Amino acid sequence: MEKKLTILTYGCQMNVAESERMAGQLAKIGYALTDEIATADLILINSCCVRATAEDKIYGKIGELKKYKLQNPALIIGVMGCLAQKDGEELIKKSPHLDFVLGTARRGELPKVVESFESARKKFVDTSNVSGQIVEGEIFPIRAGSVSAFVPIMYGCNNFCTYCIVPYVRGRERSRRPEEIFAEIKNAVDCGFKEINLLGQNVNSYGKEFEKNFAQLLAEVNGIDGIERLRFMTSHPKDLSDELIEVMANGKNICEHIHLPVQYGSDKILRRMNRVYTVEKYLSLVKKIRAAIPNISLTTDLIVGFPTETEEDFQLTLDFLREVQFDMAFTFIYSERSGTPAANFEGKVDDETKHRRLNELMAVQNKISLEKNLQLEGTTVEVLVEGASKTDKNIFTGRTRTNKAVLFPHESERVGDLVHVKINQAQTWILKGNLETRD
């Protein structure tokens, strides 16, 4: 009989991609996905620990899962991903209803671990070799969507920004072999996916092992038949090359969007964060990108409340935002991660100040995002339709090439279609409009 699997995914797109691979691996040993957690035979938590808020949420969820175990003692519960890597054995000590914990570099062994637990029911923890070999095999993921496919091209990070736990829980940078990436993309295209999204913590340092850099890889992927749209993330400003900008400017399927996390807008804080660029350098990079790709949309990440942040640093960041004019920014309150250098820095910022600064930062950026979107009112944009809205099946959602979300009403199915939508209402986060042509 078919066994049922629920995967609870937390954190970034990389975790979404990893969960899709876990589903593919476990299908081979008889597990089919279900959203109905109460009926699952196996629950996997694919976890995140980039901020304390994520961690708290996951620990809360783990507590909640105990009731399912009491109802069904045969249920298996495993923890994977970044928090599994970070807390390892502690997880089972704190929550004895958990059955296994597998670290980020051990995902390849998941079917083996599940099968051996099924027969021996012996608790198991393995977080070894965090920078270890990428396990590939012939498994293709079971993807969550049907339009856009996430394809990891590298794992890990070597940058050691002083606030960040990622290099510790994901290990050193390792690139997937180009032929494996191409095979996966071709398979996704054959399955009908129109958009490919290449993923890595720092995609611009791809390929050190193979003498094929990211710009070359992107150019080759752009040449694969059947891809309508090609995206990638994340780019570290220090590694974004002129060659890449040129490939983007000339690659007809490469979308006009770069997510370029700046993290902060003052040199003092950037230096303490170990970001290895200055505000001036970042601004000149933006200028170069915009000169080569005039309709590019730029998004970023920012952290407020980093140790030693003064009001002056913060005002510099607001000025910086006004100068760059990002299309959108993801803003975070600094979260101390034990084991990172910044956890030992003096000059902690109090919670009230952190929250006030976050609100001010968001207010400044939201105004800019709205202004940018308002410029699109009355224009027609190309939208790749992703699905119907959850609340109204006659409202479809999709994205522009610049990665802006668009809503438009329509009666019949259009998922996977490229359509033209005339924008009649711009908001801070979304655009609304009407279908213009059928193509």
Among 34, 222, 274, 335, binds ligand SAH (CB under 6 A): 335
Binding window for ligand SF4 (CB under 6 A); candidates: 154-162, 318-326, 370-378, 381-389: 154-162
Residue 303 binds which entry of ligand SF4, ligand SAH, none, CB below 5-8 Å type-dependent: ligand SAH
Q: Is 95 exposed, middle or buried (0-12, 13-18, 19+ CB in 10 A)?
A: middle
Secondary structure of 310-376 as H, E, C letters: CHHHHHHHHHHHHHHCCCEEEEEECCCCCCCHHHHCCCCCCHHHHHHHHHHHHHHHHHHHHHHHHCC
345: region left, alpha or beta (phi > 0 left; psi from -120 to 50 alpha): beta
DSSP string, 191-203: TT--EEEEE-TTG
Q: Which is nearer to ligand SF4, 167 or 171 (CB)?
A: 167
167 lies in the site for ligand SF4, by CB under 6 A: yes
Place of tokens 């012996």: 122
19 lies in the site for ligand SF4, by CB under 6 A: no
Contact letters (x/-) for ligand SAH, 140-169, by CB under 6 A? -----------------------xx-x---
Q: Which is nearer to ligand SAH, 263 or 297 (CB)?
A: 263
Among 146, 159, 187, 397, binds ligand SF4 (CB under 6 A): 159
Among 42, 45, 166, 181, binds ligand SF4 (CB under 6 A): 166
Could you tell me the two tokens for 266?
């003052």
Query: Shortest gap between Cβ of 368 and ligand SAH (angstroms)?
Result: 18
Tell me phi and psi for residue 280, to 5 degrees.
-60, -45
Cα 375–378–384 angle (5° rounding)?
90
Contact letters (x/-) for ligand SF4, 219-248, by CB under 6 A? -----------------x------------
231 lies in the site for ligand SAH, by CB under 6 A: no
Tell which positions 384-403 bind ligand SAH, by CB under 6 A: none
Look at the alpha carbons of 252, 253, 254, 256 in this order and tell me if their dihedral is positive or negative.
positive
Place of tokens 């820095």: 345
**Residues in touch with ligand SAH (CB under 6 A):** 50-51, 163-164, 166, 201-202, 234, 236, 261, 263, 301, 303, 332, 334-335, 337
Residues that bind ligand SF4 (CB under 6 A): 157, 159-161, 164, 166-167, 201-202, 236
